[in-house]
Each structure stands twice: as structure tokens, then as C-alpha cells.
Amino acid sequence: MPAASNALSTIDSAQPQTFDIRPFPGAVGAEIIGLDLASPVNAEDFTRIHRAHLDHHVLVFRDQRITPEQQIAFSRRFGELQIHVLKQFLLAGHPEILIVSNIVENGRNVGLGDAGKFWHSDLSYKELPSLGSMLHAQELPSEGGDTLFADMHKAWDAVPAALRRIVEGRSAAHSYTARYAETKFEGNWRPTLTAEQLAQVQEVIHPVVRTHPENGRKALFVSEGFTTRIVGLPDDESRDVLQQLYALSVLEQNIYRHQWQPHDLVFWDNRSLIHLAAGCPAHLRRKLYRTTIQGDAPF
């Protein structure tokens, strides 16, 4: 029997699990308590998780003692996985996993040490940006290392009418190298991109306001990390408009700040959110495994 058929058979025969979905008190996010992703998740439980992901935009699966293979398998339930351009930071034997880490071993960085230092939506610089990302904690620092998530549906709701008239129907350019070499935290962990890598991250154009393909809601789709300009506006006006949109994107009441606990698996919707890594002291070890699920062309 083919591997795919075996996987479907395992899912179909999986026993239901008892777990709770608890929304966080703020505007964004929920935690899932009692689910074990080391065991197969049946179709009914998966549907419940999928619904919660659409409703809350970021899910925190607590105490997940899973292998890379299990993280990859669960991620694939949501769609095709994307391979990051920085191949030197992919987990050996598992290219679907990007290592996010500040650890240096034998004089080399084991992972991407300053991922997420500017607000962004993962892979918005690709023709098919990410649907969502899963980040699984491997080693956590004793202080710092938080991840912030901002609701871009509510950001769009907050845009005043005059600014809406300027941006509705317009598109913006996104580039992986927009702020690639800028140092924001202590140290700069960004390797120089090869010609082959640069060819994989050419500038792309996406709507400033996108429609979520599953819930139908509109969301801002620009970020300080990857957006370079609004197409068709003079440079100075483009910069001014983008700064106004960025400010509206990160209103405090629309942000969830995730303080990591051991073995957390965090799954967020890049179509609904932007996120930011708050950073941690350079001498404290931090390592996480990220899988990234491919989405659709924004519209």
C-alpha cells in the first residue's frame, strides 16, 4: 500500500482525543490543552483544530513532545510545505524544517539566529505566500525570546476612510532582501545570499488588502519586514502611506504576546497576522523548528 494510503488509513482509524480549546483573554489566539500530536489526529478532531485556527488565527499546542517527522506530518495535513531559501539552516534529513536558533557550534551558526526581527508575514515575498507556520520549541532561553502576533483583519478595520480610498485596489511590492542586512538585535546572523538564492527571492507584487480565502475577511497585507513600496504612488507618498499602515497594524489591543513554555508548538495564520520576534540575550541558547505551509496567491 502506498505511504499516502497508509497515512489516510491511520487517520481514519485514529481514536478521538479529549482536548480543550481555550481562547486567550485578548483579541488574538487560543491554547489547546490535552491534545497529543505524537498520536494520530482523526478527521473530526482535525476539523475542530482547523476551525479554531481560522477563528483565533494563532493556536498554541501545549507540551508537544513530538519528533520532526511528526511535526512535518501534522503540518502536511494543512497543505504542501515550503522549503526555505536558506538551505544551510535546514534540519539534516528533513529539509521541510528550518532551524531558528542563535546557537553557534564549532564556529558556525546552527540556525537562522535573528528570524523575525521586523514585523512580517512569512514568505509574503513569494508568488504563493505562506498559509501558516508551525514553530516547535526545542531549547528556550531563561529570559526573552517572546513572539508577538498582530491581527491584520482588525488593522484593516482601523484604517480611516481617507486612507482606505488611497490603498483600496492598489498593490505593493514585497522583497525578501528589503531589510535583510539590517542589524536590529545584538549580532547579525544573516549569511550573504548566493546568486542562486537571490534568484529564488525576486520581488513580487501582492494586493495591499487581501481577502482571506477561507473566511472571506479582508486584511492588510503589508509589513515593515518585506514590503518595499506601493505600486503607482510617488516614492514619498508610498513611504508615508506605508508608515501609517504599519502603525495601524500593531495597535496594542490587537496584539498577542506569546511567552514560550517548554515543548510549545505554535501555529499561526500568515493570511491573518503579522508577527515579530522580540529577541533574547545573545548568550542564552534558543532553538526552534519551523515548518511552513504554502498558501494561495493573494487576491
Residue appearing with cell numbers 496567491: 297
Nearest to 255 by CA among 288, 235, 278: 278
Cell numbers for 180: 535583510
3-state secondary structure of 153: helix
Our answer to whether residue 122 is catalytic in this structure is yes
Our answer to whether residue 290 is catalytic in this structure is yes
Q: Sheet holding 273-277: strands in order across?
A: 255-258, 147-151, 273-277
User: Burial level of 153, CB count in 10 A (0-12/13-18/19+)?
Assistant: buried
Our answer to whether residue 275 is catalytic in this structure is yes
Say which of 212, 258, 275, 286 is annotated catalytic.
275
Say which of 136, 153, 212, 290 is annotated catalytic.
290
Say which of 53, 56, 57, 120 is annotated catalytic.
120
Residues 6+ apart with CB under 8 A from 259: 146
User: Burial level of 164, CB count in 10 A (0-12/13-18/19+)?
Assistant: exposed
Residue appearing with cell numbers 549569511: 191
Nearest to 67 by CA among 38, 46, 34, 95: 38
**Sequential DSSP letters for 189-241:** -PPPPPHHHHHTT--EEEESEEE-TTT--EEE---TTTEEEETTS-HHHHHHH
Say which of 122, 151, 264, 269 is annotated catalytic.
122
So which residues are the catalytic ones?
Answer: 120, 122, 275, 290
